[in-house]
Structure 1
Amino acid sequence: MKRGRRKTEDIIRILRDSEGLSVDEACRKHGISQATFNRYKKQFGGMSVKEAQRLRELEKENAELKKLLADQLLKARTLEIALEKNV
C-alpha cells in the first residue's frame, strides 16, 4: 500500500536523525528505501527547516506569478486576434 507524501520538514528531520547512522540503519528506522533516502539527501541535504519553508513559499509565489503572466499573454493574444479581424 502506497503511503502519502512526507512534508519537507519531516524529510529534513529524517535526515537530521540519520546523521551518524549508516544508510541501512536510517532506512530501517524510518521505513524508507535507500533510493528514497538518497533522493531526500540530494534534494534537502544541507537545508534547515526554515530554509525549506521559505523555498516552499517561493515556489508557491512563483507558480502564482506564472499564472498571472499566462493570463496577461492570453489577453494580449486575444486582443491581437480581435484587432486583426477588424482591419
Structure 2
Amino acid sequence: MRKSKFTEEQIIRALQEVDAGAMVQDVIRKMGVTETTFYRWKSKYGGLEVSDAKRLKALEMRTGG
C-alpha cells in the first residue's frame, strides 16, 4: 500500500477545519486532494482527536496492519 504524504495529525486537522465551518472544497483545494480522498479520511478518522490517531497508529504497527 502506498504511504500517504499526509500525517494522521494533518488529516485530522483538515477534518476539524470542516467541522468548524470551513467549506470542503476550500480544504481539499488547499491540501491538493480529491473529494473522494477527503471522505475516505472522514470515514476512517472522523471523530478522532490527534492523540487518538497516534494510539491507532501504534496499535496498527503492533498488529502488523
Answer whether TM exceeds 0.5 for this pair.
yes
TM-score bin, normalised by smaller chain: 0.7 to 0.9
How far has the Cα of 1:28 moved from its partner? 1.8
Deviations 1:34-71 (CA, angstroms, capped at 9, x unpaired): 111111111101101111101111111112xxxxxxxx
Is residue 56 from structure 1 mapped to residue 53 from structure 2 by the alignment? no
Match of 2:18 in 1: 18
What residue ranges of structure 1 are gaps of 5+ in the alignment? 64-87
Percent of aligned pairs with the same residue?
Answer: 37
Structure ranking higher on relative contact order (CA contacts 8 Å, 6+ apart): 2
What residue ranges of structure 2 are gaps of 5+ in the alignment? none
TM, length-normalised to structure 1: 0.60
Match of 1:35 in 2: 36
Q: Please state which structure has a larger fraction of its residues in helix.
A: 1
How far has the Cα of 1:25 moved from its partner? 2.1
Q: How many residues align?
A: 60
Please tell me the root mean square deviation across aligned C-alpha atoms, in Å: 1.5
How far has the Cα of 1:32 moved from its partner? 1.6
Match of 1:47 in 2: 48
Is residue 9 from structure 1 mapped to residue 9 from structure 2 by the alignment? yes
